[in-house]
Structure 1
């Protein structure tokens, strides 16, 4: 009996060693080619996109992925796809909503942590074709985006609590010794190749890499694999562990795997070097929830201005209802944002952040010889800014409006703001030289 036990332990140790050897052999020396600076510059010029979290969980109105085994019993959650029949889904209507909001790209959760796939994948039966709906959601959105001139992007999670080969089967769960991580990584590669070849996404938005089965070594290999499939596909940094996330931490860019950072539910740190994109929900929950509290228009506009002012992009999330419609109140709020951007978009799209760092009173963007001051605080009658070294303010005015009195003396720029009861308007400073080389003040 003792000899048998020793042999079992020896086999287990050998299995662990071989697994480690497999990982090192598979991922050693990976040096992925980065997305070109020109492609990244174009992406950052877009500034504003739509995030969409959607799936069978909308039938319960609980959070996608995270409510599995929590608010919704695991078995019940995994069977929801059998009821999912969003007969009012209209891809063109969704994309028009994004376009009317002034959004330039759209990102759909093709697969979230619950493992359900919104496209007819060949690699798992847990997909849209086995619902009563039986139509390709991802394909319809890709087609609608192309038709309406919106960049089409795909969210794809790293973890999959549903898949038997992924070693964790529920949030906070123990490692399943019967799972097969190498086989799961191969499954991921097959699905990602399928998504790229079928839908040609502009960007891939990864998530879920925090659990221990996923390593930076696997992430680096996956990034390299994707760049071989499509060299200019943009990839966020959640293939690795180095992300700002919800705590908005300062990251080590050298350790980052991917093209840009992804602070979540918070405006990212001002950064003129490393590209970043904040993602926010328009309500509180990522997926649809009945009567979920929705952000006010001023709050949404503040986020847009502060994000652009920090030199970042904004990905604003909606969660469609189970019948396939985006709530009318959310569509209305997005239209209000779009109306504001029609008037003020030149202070957002294609700009650089700064040179003044965002505050609760204002944010600043710049282009050419102009600085756009986004006045955020209602009722402000004046604004004092530090002088810009080597530059003189020639004049100031409200964007598409009247002149603003400006005084430049004693090391400060002083503006007499118009009497407005609301914030979220733009004051333009015209300088006697280009603004692109001004350091952040």
Structure 2
């Protein structure tokens, strides 16, 4: 007995040594993989994301068994492990068993991708697994034990439909010339090992699934992660990136692969940022220093949901959708427009109509959309501009007989025309440094009108500040202005200059507070704006207006410390006259980056 026991132990030791040696070989192999976010230059990054910045318009699809419930995907499940009562409508057991009746016989991805292509979309992102853990492909990864009440793989193969939907979507996108992106939720509210202990079992599961999506369902252009939570040490994010780039060296990754994790080491913060930002269901601020993409619900519900099919969702109008796309383009970003197929796989008639309605507009103005950059004027409620070389494309939301008067560019205007070359009246005034353009009635588009401005030189930088002539002087009655020279600085920031031209610089310390006395003499609802600059991402500001009143705002990358940009923070109501303090402070996380204010 003793001899047998010893031989058994010796065999186990030998096996452990062999496994450890193999792991070291794998680690050495992975370390040879180039993870671009950690090693590339700014020029290399810009070249790698160029196709994305040129693409402008993508299709997002949220779908799955949740559509049968009519409740929000994942969030509609009761007794979930995250967040509050919002959206919770479907008992957990009922939600988890929706897969039994999921048989979308009318799903036609070729038709959907053809509609997207005609609508002007150039890439697609499909939800392969949401927070509920259901996989829409025939995954080989096991998530539940054999004796569980749910299928071992919990995937599309367990439904009456059985067809591999992710494979179908990939083929349809490629057949229609669209680049392929997979959405994957790292957080998983039904996996029994999710965030248990050191999370090692779940790490293995989800990383293997990501490898499946890249290896077996490629080539893949984008991996669109959706947040994970817990501690950095509970995940192996560097290993994940190495695995991904070993399979797909040209892959783009959004900014959510590690977002939400605590205590990220400084040398790996770039992996949290990924390649581009993803403002959700809101228009991103003008940001030329870094790629971004607003993901927008086409048929939102009153509770701010509507990513997956909701019977109560109201589809946006064609005009609103086109203006959202125009605002993204002129803000130097992209729009990822979400559609939510019905339980049978077909598109609701209203969403199909929007895709069809987009086609004539994007076809007419394609020169002003794709391959352009946002600017040189900052966009706003009036519209915006995009440019390429020495051509500027002016996007005007509501042109009228009075025309639009803009602050003049440094370059001279040689001509203003329609997209097919017809001359448009304009006046360039050197004395007032203004440019006035009047679009004739017959050339106005009912959604967004675009005209082409040709300059005598190439565009040379963004004109931060007011775009409309006289806008800064046309103060709304009751406007309150808080200047740096009047502020009390509590911390390490520095006041530079004097009077109206003073600025706050070197705001490096996340503990610093900027304070002004706030006198509310006229009760009402106030719009709140900041005038700031930043050269790096990840600064989040909170604006306090006394007890219980505050607004949050992400500070966009403006290009340089001297490029100040107006950021719309939100609105705040003051029902009574009051004497308060207005306080600016960073949101308390480790990733605060310096900003400047004026």
Please indicate the TM-score interval, normalised by the length of the shorter structure: 0.7 to 0.9
Separation in structure 2 between the aligned mates of residue 401 and residue 356 of structure 1, nearest angstrom: 23
Match runs of 1:216-235 below 5 Å: 218-235=236-253
Aligned CA distance change for structure 1 residues 372 and 321 (closer, same or farther; 3 Å) = same
Larger mean CA deviation between 75-84 and 401-410 belongs to 401-410
Contact 1:117 1:127 in 2 (8 A): yes
Deviation at 1:291, TM superposition (A): 4.7
Residue equivalent to 1:12: none
Match runs of 1:191-340 below 5 Å: 191-200=209-218, 201-209=220-228, 211-213=229-231, 218-241=236-259, 256-284=272-300, 285-340=306-361
> Does residue 137 of structure 1 match 2:165?
yes
Segments of 5+ residues of structure 2 without an aligned counterpart are 1-26, 79-87, 143-152, 262-268, 301-305, 465-598
Contact 1:360 1:377 in 2 (8 A): no
Count of equivalent residues: 393
Residue equivalent to 1:18: none
Aligned CA distance change for structure 1 residues 93 and 255 (closer, same or farther; 3 Å) = closer
Residue equivalent to 1:160: 188
Deviation at 1:220, TM superposition (A): 4.2
* Structure with the higher helix share, 1 or 2: 1
What is the RMSD computed on CA atoms of the aligned residues?
2.3
Deviation at 1:378, TM superposition (A): 5.2
Separation in structure 2 between the aligned mates of residue 98 and residue 323 of structure 1, nearest angstrom: 19
Aligned CA distance change for structure 1 residues 76 and 109 (closer, same or farther; 3 Å) = same
SS where residue 47 of structure 2 aligns? helix
- Scaled by the length of structure 2, the TM-score of the pair is 0.63
Residue equivalent to 1:32: 35
Separation in structure 1 between the aligned mates of residue 231 and residue 187 of structure 2, nearest angstrom: 9
Separation in structure 2 between the aligned mates of residue 264 and residue 304 of structure 1, nearest angstrom: 14
SS where residue 36 of structure 2 aligns? coil
Residue equivalent to 2:75: 66
Larger mean CA deviation between 30-39 and 418-427 belongs to 30-39
Deviation at 1:380, TM superposition (A): 6.0
Residue equivalent to 2:596: none
Residue equivalent to 1:54: 63
Residues 282-338 of structure 1, C-alpha deviations (whole Å, 9 max, x = no match):
110100112521111111111111101111111000000010101122111111112
Deviation at 1:122, TM superposition (A): 0.2
Residue equivalent to 2:522: none
Q: Between the two structures, name the one with larger relative contact order (CA 8 Å, sep ≥ 6).
A: 1
Deviation at 1:222, TM superposition (A): 2.5
Aligned CA distance change for structure 1 residues 217 and 408 (closer, same or farther; 3 Å) = farther
Deviation at 1:88, TM superposition (A): 0.8
Separation in structure 2 between the aligned mates of residue 317 and residue 216 of structure 1, nearest angstrom: 32
Separation in structure 2 between the aligned mates of residue 96 and residue 331 of structure 1, nearest angstrom: 11
Contact 1:379 1:423 in 2 (8 A): no
Separation in structure 2 between the aligned mates of residue 215 and residue 330 of structure 1, nearest angstrom: 43
Contact 2:399 2:449 in 1 (8 A): no
Residue equivalent to 2:514: none
> Does residue 425 of structure 1 match 2:431?
no
Contact 2:257 2:271 in 1 (8 A): no
Contact 2:203 2:235 in 1 (8 A): no
Aligned CA distance change for structure 1 residues 327 and 440 (closer, same or farther; 3 Å) = same
Larger mean CA deviation between 330-339 and 46-55 belongs to 330-339
Residues 148-169 of structure 1, C-alpha deviations (whole Å, 9 max, x = no match):
21111100001010100103xx
Aligned CA distance change for structure 1 residues 290 and 356 (closer, same or farther; 3 Å) = same
Contact 1:52 1:318 in 2 (8 A): yes
Deviation at 1:217, TM superposition (A): 6.5
Segments of 5+ residues of structure 1 without an aligned counterpart are 1-25, 168-177, 244-252
Deviation at 1:241, TM superposition (A): 2.4
SS where residue 222 of structure 1 aligns? helix
Aligned CA distance change for structure 1 residues 80 and 282 (closer, same or farther; 3 Å) = same
Residue equivalent to 1:43: 52
* Structure with the higher strand share, 1 or 2: 2
Aligned CA distance change for structure 1 residues 185 and 421 (closer, same or farther; 3 Å) = closer
* 1:403 maps to which of 423, 446, 453: 423
> Does residue 439 of structure 1 match 2:462?
yes
SS where residue 138 of structure 1 aligns? helix
